[in-house]
Amino acid sequence: MSDEPAPAPVPAPLPTAPLRTTPVTEPTADRIPTPLRVISDLAWRFLVIAAALGLLLWLIVQLRVVVIPVAISLLLAALLGPIVVWLVKQRVPRGIATVLVLIGGIALLGGLLTFVVNTFISGLPNLQDQLTASFRTLQDFLQGPPLNLPADWLQNVPAQLNEAITANRDALTSGALSTAATVGEVAAGMALTLFSVIFFLYDGPQIWRFALRAAPRLRRERVDVAGRRAFASLVGYVRATVLVAIVDAVGIGIGLAIVGVPLVIPLSALVFLGAFIPTVGAVLTGIVAVLIALVTKGPIAAVIILAVVVGVQQLEGHVLQPLLLGRAVSLHPLAVVLSVAAGVVIAGITGALLAVPLMAVINTAVRSLVAPVEQSPADVDAVKPRHAHPVIAAAEPPPPGWIGRLWQRLNSPPAKEEQTSGADG
């Protein structure tokens, strides 16, 4: 036998792939530039969100006869709810506490609004004459130097102003009822508001627990905290708005009485009603008071009333609202003006009244939902305005203001001294 090794088997040739006869095509998504693809994705998502919001807004407008009374009842519940909770803590049965608070609240609020509205209506004819005279004085000023405006531009404006005030007298004096078209709708709205307030005061916690079932189970506790903080912000907003309206009416009324301007009570009532429309209402009612002072008492009295109005507004904006509302309900002035304008377009005077509290509630709820750490629902009291803002975690302290930064800079050692001391050590 031969010692030569057997030859290795020759491997079979691999099958060759057939030649490709069709060109290679890239996916469609790969051929679209990335910036264009991102913009298109954002665009169709924005359109879907806008369509959903538009549908929701359309439904609210169509159901405004129901939505507006329920919204007003929520405002009243936010105003009267803390009193019910306090009576319950004093061991008064919740049903009896609800009846007592409801009767007392209706008597107080009804009497106050009746006095304000009747006073405003009784003084409206004189107020109308004073406004017309004020514009005539302003017309004479505009026609003279240095402006020298043509007389035909402003000739028919006083008659148009008088006609507009006469035509819209019901809208000016009816307030939140201006959206109702018939007496039946007014009665139905008042009845729905009354029944909603009763159930919100008596059975509010149970209603909220039932509404929480719509939230996902994993996020239910966080939604519960956000809802409690949102209602706390509404409580603070309503309480602060009523107090601010009283302070505005009393402060400007005292200034008008000291200067000797007529129509003190109707003007004070107008200021009180205008204070419920944040920023815009105060400016408009202040302009009316200054114009009437200008016509009846001259420019010096008008300047004094203007100073009083500005002083009261500064007191309201820098002292009362931060003290009563706090950080949770504070909104940027531009957001307030845009909310009031959108409310007027959608629902008239009622929309202007409800736009800002709606924005405050949404702002508070969103801030609570996006907070990195939140408390448990048992630690949040829905009727205490100071519980409206989320607690900041200890690991993320709030940034100091300019005074705090200056204090830190003065007390911190210079960097060079620290390096020198470190090198010496």
How do residues 165-176 score in pLDDT, each as one tens digit?
565 555 544 544
What is the structure's pLDDT at 336?
74
The span from the CA of 13 to the CA of 126, in Å, is 111
pLDDT of res. 362: 87
What pLDDT does residue 424 have?
Answer: 45
Q: Which of 392, 398, 400, 399 shows the shortest CA–CA distance to 372? A: 392
Whether 134 contacts 294, CB under 8 Å: yes
Q: How much is the pLDDT for 290? A: 84
How many CA within 13 A on the CB side of residue 134?
20
Picking from 370, 362, 384, the residue whose alpha carbon sits closest to that of residue 232 is 384
Question: What contacts 24+ positions apart, CB below 8 Å, involve 220-228?
Answer: 221/376, 221/377, 222/368, 222/369, 222/374, 223/369, 224/377, 225/368, 225/374, 225/375, 225/376, 225/377, 225/380, 226/364, 226/365, 226/368, 226/369, 227/365, 227/382, 228/377, 228/380, 228/381, 228/382, 228/387
**What crossing angle do the helices spanning 333-370 and 64-89 adopt, rounded to 10°?**
60
CA distance 99 to 190: 17
Peptide bond preceding 146: is omega within 30 degrees of 0, i.e. cis? yes
pLDDT at 345: 77
Residue in 270, 293, 306, 275 with CA at minimum distance from that of residue 124:
270
Determine the Cα–Cα distance for residues 299 and 318; give it in Å rounded to an integer. 28
Which pLDDT score is estimated for 233? 86
The token duo for 415 is: 């960097």
User: In the prediction, which pLDDT does 190 show?
Assistant: 82
pLDDT at 334: 74
Note the pTM of the prediction, 2 decimals: 0.66
Count of helix runs (H) and strand runs (E) in the chain: 15, 0
Q: Which residues contact 199 (CB under 8 A, 6 or more apart)?
A: 207
DSSP summary character for residue 15? P
Q: How far apart are CA 163 and CA 159, in angstroms?
A: 6
- In terms of Cβ atoms closer than 10 Å to its own Cβ (0-12, 13-18, 19+), residue 263 is buried
pLDDT score at 421: 44
pLDDT at 47: 92
Neighbours of 391 (CB within 10 A): 12
d(CA 81, CA 204) in angstroms, rounded, equals: 9
* List of the chain residues with pLDDT < 50: 1, 172-173, 175-180, 328, 393-398, 415-425
Q: How far apart are the C-alpha atoms of 382 and 293, rounded to whole Å?
A: 44
